[in-house]
């Protein structure tokens, strides 16, 4: 609100005989015109409606101003646009383009905005699993939300693939307060949560918040079992391979894979017994490196078992590498047969490709604020993690449906937001239409038009 001490216009140093004047009198202007594309993508995949269907609304309908679809759509789209905190929504609720995410142009009550403010969204994020209660009118079905990620992944394919690779990884989610489930993690040297992520390529299938006083693989059998069961219900003949680092090379997970027809390739922590097993290969690599003056690799393939923790012997592939700094042996354990994957391509082409998952986690945490788990309860923090993950799914759908083959085909979520969503525009509302006049100098107008046309075709 303008006060008496603030001038309506601001004068700046002029040039070329012109005065430079500025003022907050432009009318309905937004810096997030690209939200129209997010709304367009939602229309193609039905994300907001499907997420809203996972919530149970126990509010009195006569007194309810903002529908559940408006609440979840507003929260997810705002995260995608770079607004991670619910505090931001006391201003965003008046944004003319974000208002298009709701089902109406005018609020249900005169004293309310079309979109919800921070207090209403805070009640959404502190909803409880199960049924609504007297003091918590909004509840949600946690199982339905978990299953939705897999449903969206399967729906993104026109036909069943012959083979898919599921990547598993754990990462730290730093904590700066006294949240429920807070523990000190020695490896990360700080208090944190230890969420479990499961991806298939760019598709996010699971984001499970966990305490950090556990093994990295804790709960992996249950999560993988749930996801594999859901995928095979739609794709009964698909071949599934699990891929992860040595933190997941646990007998329980490998036994489950072998019993359920799922292949795996996991990193294997090196030890003296394994290094002795490939001593000759390391010597061979050392001689080759000294002769060429460059790092050399020799691969070995053998059956192996631990002294007591494994239930059977398993195939191990060793990379006996010698660099200018000395020996650098690495090991993986796998259920894949040598006839299907030879040792060297198994390590270099299949296993090493898991490093790309690190980029996906960075997108979730750095670009979409999946590590903003500042609520007191783990329940609320898990819901926040899901909202950030759904924002990732929304932008990935935009990239997949609208940007393939363009300059932004391989762009990160943060880059897509900067180039395609953060566009300044003036909004003019008349009786017959809403005109969003975007900046004529937008350098990615061509990509915007391409995405619009492709998403229109996909929605048919």
- Tell me what pLDDT residue 275 has: 94
Residues (pLDDT < 70) of the chain are 1-7, 103
Does the CA dihedral 321-327-332-336 come out positive or negative?
positive
- Tell me what pLDDT residue 102 has: 78
For the chain, list the domains and their CATH numbers.
29-135+406-459 (no CATH), 143-367 (3.90.350.10)
Distance CA 317, CA 303 (A): 9
User: Across-strand partners of 428?
Assistant: 435
User: Across-strand partners of 243?
Assistant: 167, 265
Distance CA 223, CA 208 (A): 9
């Amino acid at each position: 609100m303008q006060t008496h001490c603030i001038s309506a216009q601001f004068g700046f140093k002029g040039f070329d005989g012109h005065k430079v004047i500025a003022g907050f009198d432009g009318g309905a202007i937004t810096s997030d015109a690209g939200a129209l594309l997010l709304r367009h993508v939602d229309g193609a995949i039905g994300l907001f409606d499907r997420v809203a269907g996972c919530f149970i609304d126990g509010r009195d309908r006569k007194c309810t101003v903002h529908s559940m679809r408006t609440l979840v759509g507003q929260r997810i789209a705002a995260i995608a646009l770079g607004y991670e905190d619910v505090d931001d929504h006391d201003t965003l609720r008046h944004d003319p383009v974000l208002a298009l995410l709701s089902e109406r142009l005018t609020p249900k009550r005169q004293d309310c905005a079309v979109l919800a403010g921070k207090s209403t969204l805070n009640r959404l994020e502190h909803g409880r699993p199960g049924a609504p209660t007297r003091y918590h009118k909004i509840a949600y079905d946690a199982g339905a939300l978990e299953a939705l990620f897999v449903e969206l992944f399967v729906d993104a394919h026109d036909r069943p693939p012959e083979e898919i690779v599921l990547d598993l990884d754990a990462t730290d989610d730093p904590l700066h307060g006294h949240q429920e489930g807070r523990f000190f993690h020695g490896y990360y040297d700080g208090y944190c949560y230890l969420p479990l992520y499961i991806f298939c390529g760019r598709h996010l299938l699971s984001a499970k918040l966990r305490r950090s006083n556990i093994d990295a693989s804790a709960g992996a059998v249950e999560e993988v079992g749930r996801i594999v069961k859901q995928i095979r219900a739609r794709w009964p003949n698909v071949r599934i391979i699990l891929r992860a680092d040595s933190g997941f090379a646990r007998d329980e997970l490998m036994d489950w894979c072998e019993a359920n027809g799922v292949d795996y390739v996991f990193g294997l922590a090196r030890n003296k017994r394994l290094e002795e097993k490939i001593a000759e290969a390391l010597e061979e690599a050392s001689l080759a490196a000294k002769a060429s003056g460059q790092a050399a690799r020799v691969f070995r393939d053998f059956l192996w078992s631990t002294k007591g923790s494994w239930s059977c012997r398993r195939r191990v592939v060793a990379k006996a590498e010698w660099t200018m700094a000395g020996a650098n042996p690495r090991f993986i354990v796998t259920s894949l047969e040598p006839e299907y994957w030879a040792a060297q391509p198994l390590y270099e082409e299949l296993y090493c490709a898991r490093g790309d998952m690190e980029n996906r986690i960075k997108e979730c945490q750095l670009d979409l604020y999946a590590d903003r788990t500042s609520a007191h309860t783990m329940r609320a923090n898990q819901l926040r993690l899901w909202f950030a993950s759904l924002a990732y799914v929304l932008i990935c759908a935009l990239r997949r449906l609208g940007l393939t083959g363009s300059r932004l085909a391989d762009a990160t979520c943060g880059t897509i937001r900067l180039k395609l969503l953060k566009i300044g525009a003036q909004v003019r509302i008349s009786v017959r239409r809403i005109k969003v006049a975007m900046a004529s100098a937008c350098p990615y107008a061509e990509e915007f038009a391409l995405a619009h046309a492709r998403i229109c075709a996909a929605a048919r």
